[in-house]
Amino acid sequence: MSLRIIHAATGVPAVSAADRGFAYGDGLFETLRLHAGAPVRWDAHWARLRRGAEALAIPLAAEDEGKARMAAQAACGGVQRAVLKLVLTRGEGGRGYAPPPDARPTLVIGIHDLPARAPADLAVRWCRTRLAIQPRLAGIKHLNRLEQVLARAEWDDDSAYEGLMLDTGERVVSAIAANLFVRLKGRWITPPVDRCGVAGTMRAWCLQALPAVEDELSKPEVEAAEALFLCNAVRGILPVHRLGTRRWPTDAAIAELRRRLALAEPAFATE
């Protein structure tokens, strides 16, 4: 059964309360930049969505990418700078966890305003909420996001821009809505995402561009790092300057990486 695509040029689309995305968080999402009327790095996002769909056994037909890309392109028409959000669910079903064999997946396409510019003196904090270890769901960008909601609810003032999260084994994983890179003894490191966390598309770009390695990170290691930055597909690369009492000055390597990203993707030009 082919994809059901829901989008609204203006206004917010409605979905059925029988959609399994609503009932169980049975689906996936992608958020990407929309720049000069076109989605930025569509291929990387669709590839991750497809990997997630395989992990959840949500059937995507060969022609679905073309249909989704055309619908997204149509929704983007004329918009200069925005965020494009895709939500793919297993589609509608009755009550009960068993995936309906004849479910027709739903794709919801939405356009959102760009977030406010990040502060130049960006601060992060440690979250108390831990990420549970669940290899079956690790890496993919699924819709079960209560841990992120609880973590982001830990503060409601401007004291921190993002929160850093550990897993239940006390290993550092990522920020709430961004991946994390740190430099330790001259070596760029980002934590693995095979137990929990999301394999960000910008994380993949940075891993290759720096280059960096995947390795375990503890809280003291992050606090002792020579430099750190966050990254995601909406905000690009964000240098971190404060964590508790620790301060980091502007780092030349991060500045250079941001210039390279802006050259590769004009959406991320900071000036």
Q: Which residues would be at the binding site for a second copy (CB under 8 A)?
A: 6, 12-26, 29, 31, 56-57, 83, 85, 87, 90, 92, 94-99, 101, 108, 110, 112, 115, 129-130, 132-134, 136-137, 142-153, 156, 168, 176-177
Complex with a second copy: residue 90 or 183, whichever CB lies closer: 90
Our CB check for a second copy shows the closer of 113 and 271 to be: 113
Indicate the residue among 89 and 190 with the shorter CB distance to a second copy.
Answer: 89
Minimum CB–partner distance for residue 183 and a second copy (Å): 27
CB nearer a second copy, residue 147 or residue 221: 147
Name the nearest CA neighbour of 151 among 181, 130, 124.
130
Q: How far apart are CA 187 and CA 225, in angstroms?
A: 10
CB nearer to a second copy: pick between 99 and 246? 99
Smallest distance from the beta carbon of 238 to a second copy, in angstroms? 15
Contacts of 268 (CB under 8 A, 6+ apart): 33, 236, 237, 258, 261, 262
Query: Sign of the C-alpha dihedral, residues 264, 266, 268, 269?
Result: positive
CA gap 258, 120 in Å, rounded? 14
Q: How far is the CB of 213 from a second copy (least distance, A)?
A: 26
Smallest distance, a second copy to C-beta of residue 198, A: 12
Write the Ramachandran bin of 235: left for phi over 0, alpha for psi from -120 to 50, otherwise beta: alpha
Beta strands in 123-233 (DSSP E): 123-126, 162-166, 172-175, 179-184, 187-190, 213-214, 227-232
As measured in angstroms, the least distance from the Cβ of 93 to a second copy is: 10
